[in-house]
Amino acid sequence: MAVHHASLFDDAFAMRWWHVLVWAAVAAFSFLNCLWIAPAGHARLSIIAIICWRSASSRWRSGKTVSSWSADLIERRRRLRVFIVTAAALYAA
């Protein structure tokens, strides 16, 4: 799982139980996709699901990263935020 953006910029970030559940759901879907969904001829459905998930999670992470931008007092991390948000948006696109 990619490093959560909040863990990079929120000094009070702590992993919660639901973070593990989300990761497990994505891993389970990937496993099922490789074994049964795509080989059964439903590749289009799995591709659409993956694109929707990536788009939604990318927007959510970018929003969380940008929302606390002004509260960050460390200049180097502010510049890093610009790079991460831009790179994540380009990668998601």
Structural domains in the chain (count): 1
Q: What share of the chain is helix, strand, coil (3-state, %, to 5)?
A: 75, 0, 25
The reported pLDDT for the residue numbered 21 is 92
Instruction: Write down the residue that tokens 């929003």 correspond to.
Output: 63
Give the pLDDT band of residue 74 (cuts 50, 70, 90). low
When pLDDT is cut at 50, 70 and 90, the band that residue 79 belongs to is: confident
Give the pLDDT confidence score for residue 66 in this predicted structure. Answer: 73
Residue 70 structural domain: 5-92
In terms of phi and psi (left: phi > 0; alpha: psi -120 to 50; beta: otherwise), the region of 41 is: left
- What's the confidence (pLDDT) of residue 80? 78
For tokens 């510049």, name the residue.
Answer: 79
Q: Tens digits of per-residue pLDDT, 36-47?
A: 888 888 888 888
Give the pLDDT band of residue 69 (cuts 50, 70, 90): low
C-alpha distances out from residue 21 to 17, 25, 30, 38, 89, Å: 7, 6, 14, 23, 24
